[in-house]
Amino acid sequence: MKILLISPTVDAEKRTNKGLMMPQLALYILAGLTPQEIEVKVVEEEIDHIDLEQECNLVGISCLTANAPRAYDLCQEFKKRGKTVVLGGVHPTILPDEALQHADCVVVGEAEGVWETLINDFRNGNLKRKYHDPSPDLGRYIPKDFSKIIKKRLYNLIPIMTTKGCPYNCDFCCVTNLFGKEIRHIPIENIVRDIQESGAKNFLFLDDNIIGHPKYSKELFKAIKPLKINWVGQASISLLVGDDELLQLASESGCKMLFFGIESVSIEQIKIMRKAIQDIEHLESAFKKIKKMGILIHASMVFGFDNDTTEVFDDTVQFLIKNKVNTVSFNVLTPYPGTKTYQDMKKEGRLITTDWRYYDHNTVVFKPKNMIPYELQIGKVKARKQFYSISSVLKRFTGNLYNPIAYFATNYGHMKQVKVEAKRIAKIKSELF
Ligand code: SF4
C-alpha cells in the first residue's frame, strides 16, 4: 500500500518566496503515524510538482482556507483517476460538510487520535465519511522525518509544536474552535527528541504563544538550552516582559526572534481586543526590554478594524519605524470561516466574496467601516512598501545592531515581496474592487 500526502499551494502556477516558508508539520506527523509497512510520499506543492498519475492507494490533503479551492481541484483530479481522497487541516475542520462535497472522507481537528484507525478502515473497505478525536493523547512520541528537507536545504526552519489550544477565543481567530480552550502540552522530552533526531540547528515553534504557560515554557527553555539551537517563535508581549526569568531563559535557550501579534497601535482597538498591553508607552518599553536580551522583534499588524480610518497606515508605519522594529507582517483583517468576525460580517452583508482563494490575510474580502475596500487594500500595500524602503531599513538598523546578519537577511526577504504584492494587487483589482 502507498499513501500520498499533499500540501497544496494557493495557486498552482505560483510559488511563495521560499525564505518566508516552512515545511507543513501536519504532513510529517501523518507520515510518522502511518504503520511502517506502508510506503508514504510527502509532496509540498510549494517546492514539488504533484504527479497526478503516480501510483498510490490513498491521498491525504491538508489545507488552510486560501488553498482549499486548490485542494478541492486536486480531490477531483485524483478521484477521476480512481483514488480515495481524505481532506484534513484547518478549513476542512471548520467546514467539514463543504470538504465532503469534494473528498471521500474528512478528518476533523487533530489527526493524532484517528489516522491509524482511518488507515485500517480503508484497508478493510470500511472508510467512514468523518473522523474526529476532540482531545487526542499528545503524550506518545511521533517520529518526524525531515532528513530530505535538511539534506537538500529546502527550507530554512524546521517546525515544532509544543502546545495545542488557546483559552482566549479572539473574534477573528479560529484556534480555540480548532484545538479547544484548554492548553495541552507535548511532553518536553518529546520536543527534545524531535530536535535531536532532526539533526537541524534552526527551528520555528509554531505555537500561538510559546510562553502561554510560563512554568512549562521555563522547563522547556532549560531543557533545550544544552542543544545549542537557534529558534524563533510567537509570544505574548505582556507575559514575556512581566517575567524577567522567562525572558532570560528564552534568550539563553537560543531565541533569536519573536513574533508578536500587536495587531493595532490604536488604543481604542487595543482595548476592544482585550490585550494585556495597556498603552503605547507600555508597548515601547516592552520592545526595549526584549531588544536588550538580543532578541529581534517581528510585529504582526492588522488593518481594517472598524475603528480604522485612512490615517491608520501612516500612524502604524511611523510607530514601527520609531521603535526600530526588525520586521513586520502587514495583514488585512480577514473574516475566516469559523470566527465571530465572519459570522458578524456575513450577517451585516459586508463580505465582498466567499471565494476562499482570497482569504489569505493579504487581500481585502470585506467592506471596512471607514474607507472603501480598495483604499484598505492599497493602504496596506503602501504601508509595507514604506516600512521596507531602503531609508527605513537603514533607520531601523541602529536599533538592531546586535544581530546585523539576521536583520539584513530578514529585511531583504521582505523587501523582495513588496513588488510581488503590488503586482498581484494590480492583477486582481478588477476581480474584487
Ligand atoms: S489570536 Fe491568539 S490569543 Fe486570540 S484566540 Fe487566536 S491564538 Fe488565542
How do residues 228-264 score in pLDDT, each as one tens digit?
Answer: 999 999 998 877 778 899 999 999 999 999 999 888 9
| CB-based contact 319:267 (threshold 8 Å) | no
pLDDT range class, residue 122, cuts 50, 70, 90:
very high
| CB-based contact 217:183 (threshold 8 Å) | no
- pLDDT at position 19 is 57
Give the burial string for 270-298 (b: 16+ CB within 10 Å, else e).
Answer: beebebebeeeeebeebbeebbebebbbb
SS3 269: helix
Other CB atoms within 10 Å distance of the CB of residue 408: 14
DSSP state of 172: T
How do residues 28-42 score in pLDDT, each as one tens digit?
Answer: 999 999 999 999 999
- pLDDT at position 411 is 96
Residues composing the chain:
433
- What are the residue ranges of CATH 3.30.750.200 in the chain? 256-433
Q: Say how many Å lie between the CA of residue 172 and the centre of ligand 1.
A: 8
pLDDT of 280 over the 80 cut: no
| CB-based contact 301:264 (threshold 8 Å) | yes
Q: Which of 164, 168, 184, 262 to mutate to test the pocket of ligand 1 (most atoms within 8 A of CB)?
A: 168
- pLDDT at position 278 is 66
- pLDDT at position 337 is 95
Greater pLDDT, 103 or 433: 103
**Among 219, 232, 253, 170, CA closest to 19:** 232
56 Cβ contact list (under 8 Å, min separation 6):
2, 3, 4, 41, 83
How do residues 189-243 score in pLDDT, each as one tens digit?
Answer: 999 999 999 999 999 999 988 998 899 999 999 999 999 999 999 998 877 778 8
- pLDDT at position 292 is 92
- What are the residue ranges of CATH 3.30.750.210 in the chain? 157-253
C-alpha cell at 384: 509595507
Q: Which of 47-56, 77-86, 107-116, 273-282 has the lowest mean pLDDT?
A: 273-282
Q: Which of 15-24, 108-117, 143-152, 290-299 has the lowest mean pLDDT?
A: 15-24
CATH architecture of 2-132: 3-Layer(aba) Sandwich (3.40)
Q: Say how many Å lie between the CA of residue 75 and the centre of ligand 1.
A: 31
CATH 3.30.750.200 fits 256-433, yes or no: yes
Q: Say how many Å lie between the CA of residue 296 and the centre of ligand 1.
A: 22
Which residue intervals of 199-297 are DSSP H helices?
214-224, 237-241, 244-252, 267-272, 280-292
Q: Say how many Å lie between the CA of residue 193 and the centre of ligand 1.
A: 28
Greater pLDDT, 276 or 289: 289
Ligand 1, atom 6, residue with closest C-alpha:
173
- pLDDT at position 324 is 96
The β-bridge relationship of strands 130-132 and 184-185 is: unpaired
- pLDDT at position 150 is 79
Q: What is the mean pLDDT of residues 320-332?
A: 96
Greater pLDDT, 134 or 155: 134
Ligand 1, atom 7, residue with closest C-alpha:
208
Q: Which of 173, 210, 234 to mutate to test the pocket of ligand 1 (most atoms within 8 A of CB)?
A: 173
pLDDT of 18 over the 70 cut: no
SS3 334: coil
How do residues 373-397 score in pLDDT, each as one tens digit?
Answer: 999 999 999 999 999 999 999 999 9
Q: What does the alpha-carbon distance between residue 28 and residue 337 come to, in Å, rounded to a whole number? A: 26
Phi/psi of residue 327, each to 5°? -140, 160
> CATH assignment of 157-253, given 3.20.20.140, 3.30.870.10, 3.30.750.210, 3.50.50.60?
3.30.750.210
The label of the residue with cell 532578541 reads: 295
Q: Say how many Å lie between the CA of residue 258 and the centre of ligand 1.
A: 16
201 Cβ contact list (under 8 Å, min separation 6):
228, 229, 230
Degrees to nearest 5, angle at CA 328 with 18 and 177: 80
212 Cβ contact list (under 8 Å, min separation 6):
163, 166, 183, 236, 239
Q: Which of 90, 163, 170, 238 to mutate to test the pocket of ligand 1 (most atoms within 8 A of CB)?
A: 170
Q: Say how many Å lie between the CA of residue 262 and the centre of ligand 1.
A: 12
pLDDT of 275 over the 70 cut: no
How do residues 394-411 score in pLDDT, each as one tens digit?
Answer: 999 999 999 999 999 999
**Residues in contact with ligand 1 (CB, 6 Å cut-off):** 166, 168-170, 173, 175-176, 208
Of the CA atoms within 13 Å of residue 207, those in its CB half-sphere come to: 27
- pLDDT at position 70 is 97
The label of the residue with cell 508605519 reads: 317
* Mean pLDDT rounded to a whole number for the chain: 92
pLDDT of 23 over the 80 cut: yes
Q: What is the mean pLDDT of residues 151-167?
A: 84
- pLDDT at position 182 is 85
- What are the residue ranges of CATH 3.40.50.280 in the chain? 2-132
